[in-house]
Amino acid sequence: MKQKIITKLLTGMAGLGIALGAATAFATPESDRQELIKYYTTKYPNVKLEDYVYGALAFDADSKAQYDAIMEFPPYLGEIDKGRKMWETPLKSGKTYAQCMPNGGKDIAGIYPQFDEAKGKVVVLKNVINDCRVANGEEPYEFDDGKTMGLLTAYMRTLSDGMLTNIKVEGPKATAAYEAGKKTFYSRSGQLNFACASCHVQNGGNRLRSELLSPVIGQTTHWPVFRGGEKLTTLQDRYKGCFKSVRAVAAGAGSETLNNLEYFHSAMSNGLPMKASVFRK
């Protein structure tokens, strides 16, 4: 059975070249994005571009209807409220997180990740939170601590719900980081010899056993997600899980490798609205 699944996923890999056409030395982030949009709108002409924010649900009307029903009364609202209380609790300096950030932290999540010229690397929203903590006398949170950093990030992203994703890649250093993230996305790894693109470009919208695979477009707009109720999963948690699934060694949360991957990945959703803190089964 496992071999049949692998064979199905690898069938027609030559066709992946259509979607990899942007992965050349002359590509730009916008041309990469447009190439993927062209690929998917050609493959699935009945799926509206704006519906890609729903991930695999965009391809299954019944699952989307179930999602809509659950989202009327999300089962994880208590968890989001915990994040809100953390956000509003003064730090040791007496300041709150909102006082660290432009616009009180509202409508800024859609510009992250971004390349920080002063630091010479990509920073994600979690870096911004930890910088605020350290500047105000607190210890930084662990990136993969779902009960602290996870909940705080989940709440903070609700402050940008509906904001259009707008990732900037400007300058040679930022471009190099973006290209490194793109290389990770398209490079095969692990014992199964899969790339992120194997599932989420060529096979986005196809089924793996009973599950639909989500396409790369729109994927980053709705993280963190709450799985099956109150189990929070961050985007970089999901990256690590994917690497584990193909039997590859994953880089750590907050590492340069995963931050660069998130940089590229997020840029492919530019122009799509944020869907903060959603339910997934």
CATH number at residue 60: 1.10.760.10
Residue type at position 68: D
Number of domains in the chain: 2
Rounded to two decimals, the pTM is: 0.91
Residue 265 marked as a ligand binder: no
Q: Are residues 129 and 180 in the same domain?
A: no
Of 109, 133, 158, which one is at a domain's C-terminal end? 158
Q: Are residues 83 and 48 in the same domain?
A: no
Other CB atoms within 10 Å distance of the CB of residue 133: 20
Q: Are residues 139 and 262 in the same domain?
A: no
Which are the catalytic amino acids?
242
Q: Are residues 58 and 130 in the same domain?
A: no
> In this model, does residue 236 exceed pLDDT 60?
yes
Q: Are residues 54 and 69 in the same domain?
A: yes
Q: Are residues 125 and 188 in the same domain?
A: no
Q: Are residues 179 and 241 in the same domain?
A: yes
Q: Are residues 139 and 265 in the same domain?
A: no
- pLDDT one-digit tens code per residue, 173-209: 999 999 999 999 999 999 999 999 999 998 999 988 7
Task: Indicate the Cα dihedral angle 97, 221, 107, 264, nearest 10°.
Answer: 80
Q: Are residues 47 and 68 in the same domain?
A: yes
The residue-averaged pLDDT of 213-242 equals 93
More confidently predicted of 164 and 24 = 164
Residue 196 marked as a ligand binder: yes
Burial 62-91 (b: 16+ CB within 10 A, else e): ebbeebeebeeebebeebbebbbebbeeeb
Structural domain including 201 reads: 2-73+166-280
> In this model, does residue 156 exceed pLDDT 60?
yes
